[in-house]
Amino acid sequence: MKLRECFEYIAGRWKSELVILSAGNCSEMWWEVTRDSERAFYLEASMSLASMFGAGIALGVPRTPVWVFSGDGAFCMNPGMLMVERQMNLPNLKHFLVSNRCYGSTYEARLPNASANDYASMARAMGIERVYRIDSLDALQRDFASAVAQPGHVFTVLEVEPVGKKLEEPPMDGPEMKYRFGRYIERMTGVRIFDGSLF
Amino acid sequence: MASVSNVTARIVEEAAKCGVKLVASLPDTWISELIEAFDKDRRFTHVPVNREESAIGLCSGAFFSGTGALALMGASGFMTCVYALTKINYTYQIPLLLLVTLRGGLGDRAKYHVSNGLYLKPLMDSISMPCTIVDSPEKVSVISTAYAHSRVISRPVVVGFTRGVLRGEQ
């Protein structure tokens, strides 16, 4: 499955969910497909912590679905994230692992043990009950609704081809992204993030 | 001299007072009682994490849901967090309160923490990380000040605890 087709399909079904994207291809392709700068947080500056970042949000706004897209390069740096996710078991957290079997944003450098890594089995071994492995657009069209529509923590592996080229980075600086995303959450959920009372 | 349980209770109360709801932790022997206290206190959601960087990610995300959070860890764990702190919290200017043990300091008899005594504070200085030291039970109230300061400067702030305070060995 091509990453662009995969993201176009998912973005076409994007409603009120908050989206967190890990560094590299995930952030850059989502930006290319959506050009969104409010509902999506591009965690370009850090690898392996997107799902923890998303879990922190999901915990505090339990009625808002949070979609996290991690690359498998990032995942390999911190697979124990699944232990924490399972333990928290947040019903509004949907974690998509974008598996291209390489370090996609660094000229597709080799990923350790790439062909043998079975991410779905790793998730099941850590006790995650709802795990999907999707390797084609047909499968995505068939399984996407059940993966995201029902309450409950879900881990979905999206098997995609390497992109084959360098993509454009989202053109926002960190603080701009913080305020765009944070103000959107304030408007949509009513929570106070930027607490003026301190000043 | 304050007992361990007394100091633990003070720290927990101070965290509650400044609005912390989420505590993410990885253990150090000096904070085992403190972690247990947070875990049992229903005012907090305590999340034991797999590594200290996960605590940084979790608490940084919590900021975007308006949830007060703190990361609790040992000095060794903090030393592993430079990447996460500088890339997430510095790049996006996300505040975060960290409570850290000052392992390797005076009175620490563990030889394997010598490197923390030598390099923890220089490392924090090298990344311009504000750090305030709690070396007596009376200074526990600085937690609230540090929490507010992290919000003002939109960066992480560390509160470091000595063995004497955490182990009741003043």
Q: What is the pLDDT of residue A199?
A: 43
How confident is the model over B96-147, as pLDDT tens digits?
999 999 999 988 999 999 999 999 999 999 999 999 999 999 999 999 999 9
Domain with B21 in it? 4-135+152-167
Chain A interface mutation, best of B54, B83, B88, highest count of A Cβ atoms under 10 Å: B54
Beta bridge mates, A98 = A71, A158
Closest-CA residue of chain B to A182: B64
Chain B residues lying within 8 Å of A50, measured CB to CB: 57
- Asked if B48's CB is within 8 angstroms of A46's CB, the reply is no
In the sheet with A154-159, reading across from the earlier edge strand, the strands are A40-43, A18-22, A66-71, A93-99, A154-159, A131-134
Which positions in chain A touch B88 (Cβ < 8 Å)?
Answer: 43, 45-46, 49, 53
How much is the mean pLDDT over chain A?
95
Tokens standing for residue B13: 């109360």
Angle at A167 between CA A163 and CA A172, to 5 degrees: 145
* Largest separation between any pair of C-alpha atoms in chain B: 42
Q: Please, what is the end-to-end C-alpha distance for chain B in angstroms? A: 6
**Which range (A80-89, A104-113, A176-185, B126-135) has the least confidence?**
A104-113
- Measure the CA–CA gap between B101 and B90, rounded to whole angstroms: 22
Q: What Rg, from alpha-carbon coordinates, does chain B have? A: 14
* Digit-coded pLDDT (tens) for A109-150: 999 999 999 999 999 999 999 999 999 999 999 999 999 988
Instruction: Specify if B65 maps to a domain.
Output: yes
Residues forming beta bridges with residue A97, ordered by sequence position: A70, A157
Do B66 and A181 make contact, defined as CB atoms within 8 angstroms? Answer: no
How many CB atoms lie under 10 A from the CB of residue A179?
A: 15
Structure confidence at residue A46 as a pLDDT band (50, 70, 90)? confident
DSSP 8-state class, residue A91? T
User: Where does chain B show beta strands of DSSP type E?
Assistant: 20-25, 45-48, 68-73, 96-101, 131-134, 156-161
Structural domain contains residue B140: no
Residue A159 phi, psi dihedral angles, 5° rounding:
-85, 115
* Domains recognised in chain A with CATH numbers: 3-198 (3.40.50.970)
Q: Residue A60: closest CA among chain B residues belongs to which residue?
A: B65
Domain count, chain B: 1
Between the alpha carbon of residue A120 and those of residues A17, A54, A62, A133, the distances in Å are 23, 20, 25, 6
The per-residue pLDDT for range B8-29, each reduced to its tens digit, is: 999 999 999 999 999 999 999 9
With respect to residue B100, please indicate whether it lies within any of the assigned structural domains: yes
Is residue B143 assigned to a domain? no
Inside any domain, residue B89: yes
Phi and psi, residue A129, nearest 5°: -85, -35
Whole-number Å distance between alpha carbons of A84 and A102 = 25
Residue B144, domain member (yes or no): no
Side chain identity at A36, as an amino acid letter? D
Residue B147 with chain A: CB contacts under 8 Å? none
Question: What does pTM read for this prediction?
Answer: 0.97
Q: Which of B64, B67, B84 sits opposite A181 (nearest CB)?
A: B64
pLDDT digits (tens, 9 = 90+) for B40-65: 999 999 999 999 999 999 999 999 99
Q: Do A50 and B51 touch (CB under 8 A)?
A: no
The CATH number linked to B47 is 3.40.50.970
Looking at the complex, does the CB of residue B153 fall below 8 Å from at least one CB of chain A?
Answer: no
Q: How far is CA A127 from CA A82, A86, A131, B45, in A?
A: 9, 7, 10, 21
Q: How many CB pairs under 8 A join A and B?
A: 117
Instruction: Report how far residue B125's alpha carbon sits from residue B131's, in angstroms, rounded to the nearest whole number.
Output: 9
